């Protein structure tokens, strides 16, 4: 409780009888006037009059709010929005906020009971506990145990100290692995329950994947991750579990990024070209496919060493690693509103290895190139993965101290 009202720490909070769902609220330190920015998912056709109910010094203060819907919504009925309100001088430290509204037919007192959420990022920091944080924005119906453990261990090798996962659901073995990494304080799980409120799409294209909200609210989750780690991490990598951003001339991100800053001056983020490695094409070398791994569900990334050649005349998608303090809004493939823009990194310096099912016509139309760079990490990756599988899932190990 705070200021006489219930507090909810996790997303998602529904606002009264509106089609507005709150994710998290943050102090915005980068404007002339200090304000609170609440990341929300809203029905784009509604036009509500929002207010912020601030909990300050154990008192409630109501101030007007404005909202703005992000441009990337891919034509779905719902989109990500920022609800913002300036902090009045009388409120020296707003610890919690509720978003309220007033409709023409009712006054504020007739609404549902307000639920407060904490206001994060109270202090602007210049020293961060993490150098790299990975944001995984949509985990649903997830079962791929082997790839999950490989991804976590690859992120460690590459230099990440934290992984934030916005989780809707997964199978029981995945949950055991997640619990293992949470105990290690390497993973933070953010409960992502938007599918309980909105008919979500399982893809980005409405004509192919029907629904009212793009891909489980992925854009809202990514924006939340940027703000959640704004003063905890020097950089945030916004990607999926089947994607690996690999330097070609350096061992890890820690070595790569000083060189990127030398080559590309004054940018807020770095874009890494997507390269597909189809799951349908594999090379099962016993050196890279331990027998022990075969008892676990999932795909072995070390077996996929053929990538589809990108057409230089066509646009290639990318994922981004950004300085979160230079970002106001992000989308899936790039920044929407920023202090400094992002830049495409030369694919001979670093590129993204994307290991997934690819449409057969895409495989057939474009030539394939053998690319074994992922295996350069095998000597470190294989024993690390085997250790986690034994400790997190092997029943003989569970009872051990």
Report residue 52 as tokens: 């912020």
pLDDT at 104 over 70: no
| For residue 12, cis peptide bond before it (omega within 30 degrees of 0) | yes
What is the C-alpha to C-alpha distance for residues 200 and 212, in angstroms, rounded to an integer?
6
Pick the more confident residue, 288 or 114.
288
pLDDT at 73 over 60: yes
Enumerate long-range contacts of 246-252, CB under 8 Å, 24 or more apart. 246/158, 246/350, 246/351, 246/352, 246/353, 246/373, 246/374, 247/349, 247/350, 248/348, 248/349, 248/350, 248/351, 248/373, 249/349, 252/157, 252/158, 252/159
**pLDDT band with cut points at 50, 70 and 90 for residue 203:** confident
What is the C-alpha to C-alpha distance for residues 174 and 184, in angstroms, rounded to an integer?
15
Residue 161 DSSP code? S
Q: What is the per-residue pLDDT for 398?
A: 39
pLDDT at 166 over 60: yes
CATH class, domain 130-398, is alpha beta
Q: Which of 43, 26, 44 is nearest to 35 (CA)?
A: 26
Q: What is the per-residue pLDDT for 103?
A: 54
Q: Which of 301, 302, 333 is nearest to 315 (CA)?
A: 333
- Please state which of the ranges 43-52, 187-196, 388-397 shows the lowest mean pLDDT: 388-397
Q: Which of 65, 75, 73, 80 is nearest to 20 (CA)?
A: 80
Please give the model's pTM, rounded to 2 decimal places: 0.94
Residue 113 DSSP code? P
**pLDDT band with cut points at 50, 70 and 90 for residue 180:** very high
Domain boundaries for CATH 3.90.550 within the chain: 130-398
- Average pLDDT for residues 181-195, to the nearest whole number? 98
Pick the more confident residue, 209 or 151.
151
Q: What is the per-residue pLDDT for 363?
A: 57
Pick the more confident residue, 252 or 31.
252
Q: Which CATH number fits domain 6-120: 1.10.287, 2.60.40, 1.10.3470, 1.10.10?
A: 2.60.40
The per-type count for the chain, helices as H runs and strands as E runs, is 7, 23
Q: Which of 247, 231, 262, 259 is nearest to 327 (CA)?
A: 231
- Average pLDDT for residues 58-82, to the nearest whole number? 95
Region at 141 (left for phi over 0; alpha for psi -120 to 50; beta for the rest): left
Q: What is the per-residue pLDDT for 400?
A: 34
- As a whole number of angstroms, the longest Cα–Cα distance in the chain is 70
- Average pLDDT for residues 154-182, to the nearest whole number? 98
The three-state secondary structure class of 17 is coil
Cβ proximity of 233 and 162 under 8 Å: yes
Q: What is the per-residue pLDDT for 355?
A: 96
The three-state secondary structure class of 191 is strand
Residues 347-385: pLDDT tens digits? 999 999 999 988 765 655 568 899 999 999 999 999 999
- Average pLDDT for residues 263-268, to the nearest whole number? 92
Place of tokens 């944080």: 133
Helices 172-183 & 378-393 angle (0-180, nearest 10): 110
Q: Which of 237, 221, 226, 6 is nearest to 120 (CA)?
A: 226
22: enclosing H helix or E strand = strand 20-28
Place of tokens 């769902």: 21
Phi, psi of 186 (to 5 degrees): -95, -30
What is the C-alpha to C-alpha distance for residues 353 and 341, in angstroms, rounded to an integer?
23
pLDDT at 290 over 50: yes
88 Cβ contact partners less than 8 Å away, ≥ 6 residues apart: 61, 63
What is the C-alpha to C-alpha distance for residues 231 and 226, in angstroms, rounded to an integer?
9
- Average pLDDT for residues 62-84, to the nearest whole number? 96
Domain boundaries for CATH 2.60.40 within the chain: 6-120
What is the C-alpha to C-alpha distance for residues 260 and 247, in angstroms, rounded to an integer?
11
pLDDT at 225 over 50: yes
Q: What is the per-residue pLDDT for 91?
A: 92
Residue 216 DSSP code? G
Q: Which of 219, 260, 44 is nearest to 132 (CA)?
A: 260
pLDDT at 110 over 50: no
Mean pLDDT across the chain: 92
- Average pLDDT for residues 27-44, to the nearest whole number? 95
**pLDDT band with cut points at 50, 70 and 90 for residue 146:** very high
């Amino acid at each position: 409780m705070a200021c006489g009202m219930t507090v909810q720490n996790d997303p998602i909070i529904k606002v009264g009888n509106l089609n507005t769902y709150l994710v998290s609220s943050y102090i915005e330190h980068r404007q002339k006037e200090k304000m609170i920015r609440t990341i929300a998912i809203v029905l784009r056709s509604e036009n509500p009059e929002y207010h912020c109910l601030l909990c300050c010094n154990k008192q409630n203060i109501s101030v007007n709010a404005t909202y703005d819907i992000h441009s990337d919504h891919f034509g779905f009925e719902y989109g990500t929005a920022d609800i913002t309100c300036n902090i009045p001088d009388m409120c020296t430290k707003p610890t919690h906020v509720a978003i309220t509204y007033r409709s023409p037919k009712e006054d504020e007192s007739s609404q549902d009971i307000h639920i407060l959420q904490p206001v994060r990022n109270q202090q602007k920091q210049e020293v961060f506990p993490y150098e790299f944080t990975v944001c995984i924005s949509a985990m649903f119906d997830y079962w791929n145990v082997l790839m999950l453990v490989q991804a976590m261990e690859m992120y460690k090798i590459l230099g990440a100290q934290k992984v934030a996962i916005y989780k809707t659901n997964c199978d029981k073995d995945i949950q055991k692995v997640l619990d293992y990494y949470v105990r290690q304080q390497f993973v933070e799980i953010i409960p992502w329950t938007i599918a309980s409120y909105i008919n979500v799409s399982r893809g980005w294209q409405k004509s192919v994947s029907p629904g009212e909200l793009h891909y489980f609210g992925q854009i809202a989750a990514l924006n939340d991750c940027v703000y959640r780690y704004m003063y905890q991490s020097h950089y945030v990598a916004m990607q999926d579990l089947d994607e690996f951003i690999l330097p070609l001339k350096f061992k890890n991100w820690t070595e790569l990024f000083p060189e990127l800053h030398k080559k590309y001056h004054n940018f807020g983020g770095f874009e890494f070209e997507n390269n597909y490695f189809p799951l349908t094409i594999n090379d099962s070398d016993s050196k890279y496919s331990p027998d022990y791994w075969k008892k676990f569900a999932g795909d072995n990334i070390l077996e996929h060493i053929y990538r589809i050649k990108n057409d230089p005349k066509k646009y290639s998608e990318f994922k981004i690693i950004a300085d979160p303090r230079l970002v106001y809004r992000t989308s899936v493939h790039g920044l929407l509103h920023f202090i400094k823009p992002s830049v495409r990194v030369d694919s001979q310096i670093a590129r993204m290895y994307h290991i997934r099912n690819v449409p057969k016509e895409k495989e057939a139309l474009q030539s394939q190139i053998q690319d074994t760079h992922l295996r350069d990490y095998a000597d470190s990756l294989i024993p690390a993965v085997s250790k986690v599988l034994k400790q997190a899932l092997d029943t003989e190990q569970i009872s051990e101290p």
